[in-house]
Structure formats: structure tokens, C-alpha cells
Amino acid sequence: MLSCQLSADWQHHSTSYEEPTLGDSPYGSLWPLPQKVQISTVVFKLSGASFHIFDAKASSSGASCRLLQNAYRRYDEYIFTSSRKQGQNKSKKALASDMSELQVWITSADSECDSYPSVTSDESYKLSVDSPVAVLKAPKVWGALRGRVHGFYSTHCLYSDEEKSINRTDIHDFPRFAHRGLLLDTSRHFLPIKVILANLEAMAWNKFNVFHWHIVDDPSFPYLSRTFPQLSQHGAYHPYTHVYTPSDVKMIIEFARLRGIRVVPEFDTPGHTQSWGKGQKDLLTPCYSGASPSGSFGPVNPMLNTTYDFMSMFFKEVNTVFPDAYVHLGGDEVDFSCWKSNPDIQKFMEQQGFGMDYSKLESFYIQRLLDIVTTTNKGYMIWQEVFDNGVKLKSDTVVHVWMGNKVEEELQKVTEAGFTTILSAPWYLDYISYGQDWQKFYRAEPLSFKGTDAQKKLVIGGEACLWGEYVDATNLTPRLWPRASAVGERLWSDRDVRDLNDAYSRLAKHRCRMVQRGIPAEPLFTGYCAHEYKGV
Amino acid sequence: LKTISNSRRCYKQWLWFMVLFMSFSVIYVDAVWPMPQMISSSMARYTLNPREFIFQYSSGSSAQPGCSLLDSAFERYYPPRQHDEWFRFPFTVVVHVERAECEGYPDADSSESYKLSVCSGQAALRAETVWGALRGLESFSQLVYQDDFGEYFVNETEIEDFPRFQFRGILLDTSRHYLPLHAILKTLDAMSYNKFNVFHWHIVDDPSFPYQSSTFPDLSSKGAFHPLTHVYTQIDVKRVIAHARLRGIRVLAEFDSPGHTQSWGKGQPGLLTPCYKGTVPSGTFGPVNPANSSSYQFMTRLFKEVTSVFPDSYVHLGGDEVDFTCWKSNPDVRGFMLKMGFGTDYTKLESYYMEKLVDKKGPKWRLVWFWQDVFDYHEKIPVDTVLHIWKGSPGQIQQELSSITLAGYRVILAAPWYINHIDYGQDWEKYYTIQPLNFTGTEQQKTLVIGGEVCMWGEYVDATNLSPRLWPRASAAGERLWSDEKMTSSVIDAFPRLVDFRCRLLRRGIQAEPLFVGHCRHEYQGI
């Protein structure tokens, strides 16, 4: 353990990462960087008193679109709160050159205001900031949300402290990848609702659009199921204080929708299910020590019909509770030793002609589970092992690549087989090290593997994962931000956006903006924000 | 000695609860963090009712009502109010203090020992000083626990306790990032829960000068990140010192020179050495200019202020990591070297500077601390100096400990506890298993190791992540510095205790991060 100190260069203040040089980026604090952006040197003043956000007359969405009205209010607050608090807009009259309004124009006939975002949602937008009116044009509300977050709010940060101002700007923007996700783990530690909501908010600022909710796992089962309430009754850390009720889940889904974020729940089986066993008798495989049961349990018992009855009913509920078109079925890290110890399973293996190949048994289970889920009309995502083991998958399955070794080979194989895939291997944010490790996340390139253009198109995105072994409400937010922001830009911006110095300058400002809006995003390096974190 | 036995006075209860005790008592014995030197407890327990719970001075105590320090501690340690009306038995904590230094400041030789006896429906806390009483109140508060119905209990317990090391410090760096006052005060709270007793305030450094000096206001108005929002005013500093005092914590201020002074130069032109590129000044500056007598005049006046603002009898003068390249480039400094006969040995120039600095000891001038570099390079250091070991491999640290104590200096160990360095996993174990006295030397030499310090340098730390990064990792060092090494040698025994203790910290509003998978009954409610 101490050997690492031996090798350390003994300075008070050594760093293991190169320190980017501080300079101002021509793009101010824009994060993630838009696909096309032109910022002119002409500056308009913005004043909270006279500035308003409107629906454009020709827009297909109007005052009845709660999603947009909500967003207008949020961003109006973000932009002007501090100056209004300081009482700076006294009775200053707006100058003629001031910009007085932002018009939001949804151009396609169906704005999708009342629907849920999906992997095919159009998130593109065009923003033109000019005097006296700025126009934000987007085919769907999802693009308008991105535009709000991005352009408007961000550029205003070229403001001086005394008066908000904004440069004449033209932005044409769209995401490089359709799936830009963040995984939070609420099983290893329970995360109070407000922590989840705060991070959904921060996700929106960073243009993430998928909340991968790793909701249950071995340590605890906080999901309160209407069909099987005993699962959380016995499997949660506490049956009342450490659970997500149906209304909690609903609130989270709606909160996410209003920010253009999908909620993809993960119910991982057949491994990682210790907590399921507490409330659901006979679901897990009894392990044996010699000829008698040892009292401990292994993965889901794949040989009982009751298991599949249970899964049918359970996923039927999941299907109705979570509106997204996908559910994540897990399927990772199945330990075979318990199955091997159980004489009934051994017999079953024999009957099925699996020999000693327990991965066939795993596939047998997964196959049946996938069939069950298919009947609910949901698509599914699975961890890469399921694909590696040769399970037959529906063509629209998303294979989630997470293992750190041979990442490029795996991407090659998965896409060669014609499956869509998302990448997490380079973005396990729960692994921490001293210094500016955001650079490592930033440098990762999802499409560096060998393959045809068609294959590369199958990589629909990536996910930053924050597993919960060492993370709970106390340290989640500063550990996640702004490190996840690095992943956010990699997944949104053009492949060629890779200049670390430029990124550092923008990211430092972006993190101060998050801090000012109340998210305790940790510092990148020595320095300060005009408005430091007020919590603690 | 960690024994599980009864006290003579409470013999009867002991027999009563014998059976239960065999199976459960260990939980309660282990309740206090850091582990007391001697503790025994039984299963006999008393219910505490917040409505009938009082702290009271014993009649013979030299501290009596009006002792502001203990009065305010009683308020802090009063159990959370709640409404269990049905409880009938009152509970009293009787506090006895030999010497009431209620208005004083804790110092290097303040006694922190105490005896605590929870027995016959009341608790008796005896301490030589108010500082010991504070430590005892903290231990008592940790003996109190709640059952599933929210009722409070305390078990019959005997504790005799004193710190293994007199100096148990935490360094915060307010120059690389400005820490808002409330972040500092919160840290002081958590320090007292962990029985730390020194706040080493690394208040200024290269990046910024947030200390608002009344003598030289330009230092912060030009050298702070922001002259109004990112400074510590005299009132702020007083608040920190007062808050610390009430918790038995010394505030050791560090004004590091001659290196680490870039921010000083902004508000004090002429203080730093102009660096040269060939024969012309390059526009950049190096360490304090040791060739100018005005530098020493400035330092004299600044430290005169510092010693009047900070009541502790020590100030930390830094003296680490001086880079000689700028001095070497400057023709005036070279001329001075020649004049003084230093040749090309710039460590002699640094020595000269440090000696002049200490030489200024007037009547109000204090005892000083240095980082170990000063010992490594110099010979003429006053014997009452304390040296601070901050670098080296474990082997080098042992050697440094041997040689510094052999030379008769007192020493503080910080090197193993650079807690700003982070790693994946349970690195608290690394901090827990350090053996500060594991070096070659006589008993006499070992007594010169007066303690240790946890350093949280500020490159990557500000108010957003300070608390979860500090706690409970620093708690591991806290136990190492307070408790008996033999009683606390097992990481496996410590783990469940530390897990409980961190939940207790959460309950008290300290944002302490988890050690591993699991939960606390009351999770952190912020974001």
C-alpha cells in the first residue's frame, strides 16, 4: 500500500496529469461545444426586466406545452437570478440595441410536447442571436430544450458581472450520438429522491439524454413493486425510508421527461439478485455444501417454472411503470459455483444436454427471459456477456460494452453481428485517482475500432457509470461533476473537438456555472469561481 | 486497556445483566471513536429523556455556571429534543473540573485527560482542565444511542482516557481554493467529534492571499482571488479562533516564506525577487528577496500583526520548496551572495533568510514551526522549534524521524497523511495502520514525536468536495493519534466501528462519505 508513496515525486503539490494551460476559449463557456457555432464580436445587452422568452407565432407548440413553459421559467431563473437578487435592473431603460426577446419556434407539425423522448428523437436546433430578437428553431421540443440549455444560457456567460450581455451568435447544433447516458446505482447505496432529481437537472445542462437507473442489485431492492411489495419490504435497506414508491418513480420519470431525458431502468438477472431472494421465496438457487443446502443462495433458479411466472408478472409491471421503449436486463457477472453445487440443477443440466457448460444454462435462462420481455413490446438492453455467450437476441437489442479489456475488438464483433451498441468501458467514473482524470474520459474515442461505416453507425452512444460501492448522497454529486461533463462533450460534440486547453478553459467556466446553480461540482484545479458553493 | 468488566460501585446491576451482556456488550464498548485508553461497560443501560436530562457542575468543581466554554458545550451536547413524554427517570451528567481556564486558549501542554463514569443512573465526568472535560463530553455523547423506537439509551460505562499524542492536527489550504467561512467552521465541528486539537491554517500561498491584513490591506485587495468575496476579514479570523477555542482546538496559522509567496508580491511591490533573463528582468518573480533589508522590515511588521491576531504561542513559518533558479538569475542576489561569502550555495542564502526571520524574535514573538526542509538544509535552528515532516518514502521518513529527534528537536509527522491524494477503494486503512513511533531511536527520542497532522492540500478541493473527501478518512488518523496503538491495531475491528461513527457524523450534519456498500438509518439530506 505504501509503495505508491515511494514512487511519488515528493512535492507538496505534485500532479500526475499534465496541467492544461489556462487561456480563454473563443467559445466562452459553451459546453458541450455545438457542431457549428459562429460568435461575432458584436455584443448585446440583456436585462432581466425587459427580456422575455416567447413562443414564435408560427411555432407548432403554444402555451399549452407544459414542457416548454417549464423550461422557459427554469432558464429565465438561471440567467437572471443573481442579477435580480442584486437588484441591478433598477429602472434602467432597455437600449434600442438591447435584445429583448427570444422566440422559440417548433417547426414540425407535431412538436412531441406531450410524448416521451426516445432514441430516435430529433434533438437538433438552430439558434440565432441577433438584435432585437433571438430565434431558436427546432423541429421538435427536444431540440428546443437542447438549444435552451446550450446556446442561450451558455453564451450569456460572456457577460460581465454588472450587466448580462450576449454576443451575436449563430449556432446549428445536433448530437453526434443519440444515446448519451449516465448510470446511477441505487442498490449499493440508497440515493434520496432529491439527489436523483438534482443530477437529472445537471444531466440536462450537459445534454445527457438517458438516465440508466441501476435500481436494484445484490445489496438492496429499493424498488417498491405493486405486484410484489414484499421484494422491497424485505429486500430494501429499510422498508419505508429506503425505497422508491410508485409515486417517487413517476415523479422522477416526469422530471426527466421535462428535460428531454429518458429513464431506462435496469433489473439485472440472473446474477446480482441476492436482495430479490429476501422477499421472493424459491426465486434464487439454494447453494449446497456437499449433500445438504448451505443456507446461502446463488443466482435466479433457472429450472423452475415458477421463476418464469414471477418474471412474467414482474416485467409486465415494469412495462407499465416505465414508459421508455427499452428496459435494461443486465445479465452480467453470473457466478456458476452455486449452480454447480446444487444437485437438482446438475440433474437439469443433464436433462437439457448442457454437459458441464453452465453458460448454456445461463443462456437458457436469458433466452426465456428475453422472450417474456418481448411479449411486453419492450426492447431491451443487455450487458456484453449475454452477447458473448451467444444468446439469440432480437435485432433491435442494444449491447452494452463495459469490460475494460479488448474494447475495440468487442465493438467490432457486436457491430459485425449487426447489433446496436453503447460504450461504457472508458467511463467508469466510480474509479477515482489523484489529479485531472477528466482528461482521460475526454480523450476516449468510441469509434476508433476497425469497421465499416455501417458498423460505426451501430454505435449509438455511450454511458458514464457511477457504481455505488463508495458513493452515496454525501459524495455523489461532486464526484460526478464535472467529470461526467467530459463524457457529455465526447458524446455530443464533433469528433474533432479534442483540444484539451480549449476544453479546460470552457469546462472550468461551465463548472462554475453549475456551482452557481447549486450543484456542488468539484474543481478541476487551483482557482476560484465568482460564486462559490454555498452548501456544506 | 480495553476491558469489559463492571465497576465496583455498579456491581449489582452487573450481575443482573451478565447473561445479556455476554452476547451484546461489545457493540456498546466499541461505540466511542477514537477508542479511549481504558473503557469498560456492561449491558445495564439507562434511558435518557431529553426533557429530564441535565448537565450540572459538581459542587467541588472549579468551573461553575458562567464558565462560557463549558456552558456552550453543554448546549451543543444536549440530546436532540423530541417528544417521548412517557419517560420518568431523570438523568444527570455531573461535571467536575480541577482548573477552570474557561476564558483561556488551549495550548501545546494543555491536559486533555478525563474520567467518565456512567453508573447508578447518572454520569460523572472528571477532568483536570476544561479541555479534558470537552473530550469527555464528546465521548459521553457517543455512548448515547437510539433504539428502533427513537428512545435514547446509555450503558453503564467506565472510561479513563488521555491522548497518545498531544498534537493532532488537520491542515486546510485556503489559498489554492478559497474556503467559505462556514466550510471551515463545519470542519472544526467535525474535528472536535474526532478529538483533533489543532487547526493548521495554511492561509496564504502562491495562488491567492485571502488573509485581510490590517497593516498591509493591499496584500489581500490585490492578492486574493477577489478583494471582497474571497477574503478572511479580521472578524472572520476571530470567529474561526473563537469557534475553535470552544471546541478545544488551537489555530496554528502558517505564513509560508520565502517560497510559495507569488500572491504576496501583488500587493507588496519590491518584496519578491525579480527574475532575470540574461541581463534584463523577465517580468516574473521568485521567492522573497533576501538581499533587501526592506523584506525583513516588512516581515517584522506582518508577523507582529500575525502574533497579535492569532493567540496560539506558535506560528508556522513554512520554509518549504524554495526554488533557487530565480535567485540565481538575479544580479543583485548574486552580488549579495558574494558579499556574504556564500559562494554558490543557495541553501546558505535560504538559511540566512530563515535565521533573520526567526532572529526578529521580539518579546511578543512566538515559537515557530517549519517544514522539514529547514532542518535538512540548516544548522542554526532554535531548540524550541518544532519541525514538520511532510515528504519521503516510509524508509526516509523513519530516517528523518531518527535524525531530527537525535538532534533534539520536536517533530510532527504529516507525510503519511496527505489525504488530498485519493485512490479507489478503502484507503482509510492505509492511514489507520501508520505507526508513528516505528523508527530507530531511544525512548527519549520517541517522546520528541509530539504528534501528527492530516493535510488536505487544495489543488482539487474546495467547498464542493472538502467534507466528503476529509471524513471519515481523517477519522482513521484521528484514532491513530489519540488511541493506544496495541488496542487499535486491527483494521477488521475498526471497520464496523468506523462505519457506525460515520453514520453518527452524518446524523450531526457532517457530509462524511461511505466506507463501503451499506446504509445509515438517516442518510445525508443535502445534495
Q: What pTM was computed for the model?
A: 0.92
Q: Which of A6, A238, A536 sits opposite B183 (nearest CB)?
A: A536
Alpha helices in A215-342 (DSSP H): 230-235, 246-257, 274-279, 305-321, 337-341
A384 phi, psi to nearest 5 deg: -60, -30
Kindly indicate the confidence band of residue A5, based on its pLDDT and cuts at 50, 70 and 90: very low
What is the C-alpha to C-alpha distance for residues B409 and B382, in angstroms, rounded to an integer? 9
Per-residue pLDDT at A147: 87
B416–A5 C-beta distance less than 8 A: yes
Give yes or no for A240 touching B (CB within 8 A).
no
A475–B463 C-beta distance less than 8 A: no
Please list, in sequence order, all residues whose beta carbon lies within 8 angstroms of the beta carbon of residue A282, skipping any fewer than 6 positions away: A301, A304, A306
Average pLDDT over residues B63-82: 83
Per-residue pLDDT at A159: 39
* Residue A101: all three cell numbers together: 426577446
Per-residue pLDDT at B9: 46
B465–A479 C-beta distance less than 8 A: yes
Per-residue pLDDT at A111: 94
CA B406 to chain centroid, in Å, comes to 26
For chain B, the average pLDDT equals 89
> Helices A343-352 and A358-375 sit at what angle, rounded to 10 degrees?
80
Kindly indicate the confidence band of residue A22, based on its pLDDT and cuts at 50, 70 and 90: low
pLDDT digits (tens, 9 = 90+) for B376-416: 776 677 778 889 998 888 899 999 999 999 999 999 999 99
- Higher-confidence residue: A5 or B209? B209
Give yes or no for A431 touching B (CB within 8 A).
yes
A356 phi, psi to nearest 5 deg: -105, 10
Catalytic residue check, A18: no
Listed by number, the residues of chain A in 42-61 with a beta carbon closer than 8 Å to a beta carbon of chain B are: none
Strands B122-129 and B114-119: antiparallel
Q: Is pLDDT at A46 greater than 80 in this prediction?
A: no
Q: Is pLDDT at B228 greater than 80 in this prediction?
A: yes
Provide the shortest C-alpha distance from residue A325 to chain B (in Å). Answer: 30
Listed by number, the residues of chain A in 203-232 with a beta carbon closer than 8 Å to a beta carbon of chain B are: 219-220
Kindly indicate the confidence band of residue B360, based on its pLDDT and cuts at 50, 70 and 90: low
Neighbouring CB atoms inside 10 A of A364's CB total 18
Percent of chain A at pLDDT above 70? 89
What is the C-alpha to C-alpha distance for residues B101 and A315, in angstroms, rounded to an integer? 68
pLDDT digits (tens, 9 = 90+) for B231-254: 999 999 999 999 999 999 999 999
- Contact (Cβ atoms closer than 8 angstroms) between residue B436 and residue B414: no
Number of separate helices (H) and strands (E) present in chain A: 19, 16
Cβ contacts (< 8 Å) between B527 and chain A: which residues? 194-195, 198, 473, 477, 518-520, 535
Neighbouring CB atoms inside 10 A of B16's CB total 14
A521–B394 C-beta distance less than 8 A: no
Per-residue pLDDT at A24: 85
Per-residue pLDDT at A81: 63
What is the C-alpha to C-alpha distance for residues A502 and A25, in angstroms, rounded to an integer? 5
Helix (H, G, I), strand (E, B) or coil at B72: helix
Closest among B173, B159, B237, B235 to B203, alpha carbons compared: B173
- Contact (Cβ atoms closer than 8 angstroms) between residue A210 and residue A182: yes
A527–B464 C-beta distance less than 8 A: no
Per-residue pLDDT at B367: 61
Kindly indicate the confidence band of residue B8, based on its pLDDT and cuts at 50, 70 and 90: very low
Average pLDDT over residues A393-420: 95
Average pLDDT over residues A436-464: 97
Please identify which residue in the block is written with the cell numbers 525583513. B296
pLDDT digits (tens, 9 = 90+) for B487-497: 999 999 999 99
Q: Is pLDDT at B82 greater than 50 in this prediction?
A: no
Please list, in sequence order, all residues whose beta carbon lies within 8 angstroms of the beta carbon of residue B29, skipping any fewer than 6 positions away: B2, B4, B39, B40, B41, B157
* Residue B216: all three cell numbers together: 498591509
Least confident of B98-102, B380-384, B446-450: B380-384
Number of residues written out for chain B: 527
Please identify which residue in the block is written with the cell numbers 477577489. B226
Average pLDDT over residues B155-168: 97
Which DSSP string corresponds to B136-174?
A: HHHHHHHH-EE-TTS-EEEEEEEEEE--SSSEEEEEEET
Least confident of A424-433, A502-511, B37-46: B37-46
Give yes or no for A530 touching B (CB within 8 A).
yes
Least confident of A49-53, A425-429, A473-477: A49-53
- Higher-confidence residue: A152 or A494? A494
Please list, in sequence order, all residues whose beta carbon lies within 8 angstroms of the beta carbon of residue B489, skipping any fewer than 6 positions away: B433
Neighbouring CB atoms inside 10 A of B243's CB total 19
* Residue A210: all three cell numbers together: 438517458
- Contact (Cβ atoms closer than 8 angstroms) between residue B96 and residue B127: yes
Kindly indicate the confidence band of residue A419, based on its pLDDT and cuts at 50, 70 and 90: very high
For chain A, the average pLDDT equals 89
Give yes or no for B398 touching A (CB within 8 A).
no
Q: Which of B393, B468, B515 sits opposite A478 (nearest CB)?
A: B468
Question: Which run of H or E residues covers position A501?
Answer: helix A500-516
Per-residue pLDDT at B19: 36
Give yes or no for B148 touching A (CB within 8 A).
no
Per-residue pLDDT at B373: 76
Closest among A71, A78, A77 to A104, alpha carbons compared: A71
Cβ contacts (< 8 Å) between A525 and chain B: which residues? 459-460
Q: Which of B186, B457, B458 sits opposite A536 (nearest CB)?
A: B186
Give yes or no for A519 touching B (CB within 8 A).
yes
- Contact (Cβ atoms closer than 8 angstroms) between residue B315 and residue B253: yes
Distances B110 to B94, B308, B477, B520 between C-alpha atoms, Å: 22, 21, 21, 36
Per-residue pLDDT at B371: 80
Listed by number, the residues of chain A in 137-196 with a beta carbon closer than 8 Å to a beta carbon of chain B are: 188-190, 192, 194-195
Please list, in sequence order, all residues whose beta carbon lies within 8 angstroms of the beta carbon of residue B384, skipping any fewer than 6 positions away: B367
Per annotation, catalytic residue among A18, A77, A333, A469 = A333
Cβ contacts (< 8 Å) between B423 and chain A: which residues? 4, 432-434
Helix (H, G, I), strand (E, B) or coil at A196: helix
What is the C-alpha to C-alpha distance for residues B514 and B30, in angstroms, rounded to an integer? 19
Percent of chain A at pLDDT above 90? 77
Per-residue pLDDT at B361: 55
Q: Is pLDDT at A157 greater than 70 in this prediction?
A: no
Q: Is pLDDT at B36 greater than 50 in this prediction?
A: yes
Provide the shortest C-alpha distance from residue B207 to chain A (in Å). Answer: 7
- Contact (Cβ atoms closer than 8 angstroms) between residue A462 and residue A177: yes
> Helices B181-193 and B130-143 sit at what angle, rounded to 10 degrees?
80
β-bridge mates for residue A103, sequence order: A54, A135
Helix (H, G, I), strand (E, B) or coil at B504: helix
Residue type, B228: L
Per-residue pLDDT at B98: 94
Q: Is pLDDT at A94 greater than 60 in this prediction?
A: no
Please identify which residue in the block is written with the cell numbers 495562488. B207
pLDDT digits (tens, 9 = 90+) for B281-291: 999 999 999 99
Listed by number, the residues of chain B in 461-520 with a beta carbon closer than 8 Å to a beta carbon of chain A are: 461-469, 506, 511-519
Kindly indicate the confidence band of residue B370, based on its pLDDT and cuts at 50, 70 and 90: confident
Per-residue pLDDT at B302: 96
Helix (H, G, I), strand (E, B) or coil at A45: strand
What is the C-alpha to C-alpha distance for residues B463 and A208, in angstroms, rounded to an integer? 26
Q: Is pLDDT at B24 greater than 70 in this prediction?
A: no
- HSE of B459, CA atoms in CB hemisphere, 13 A: 17
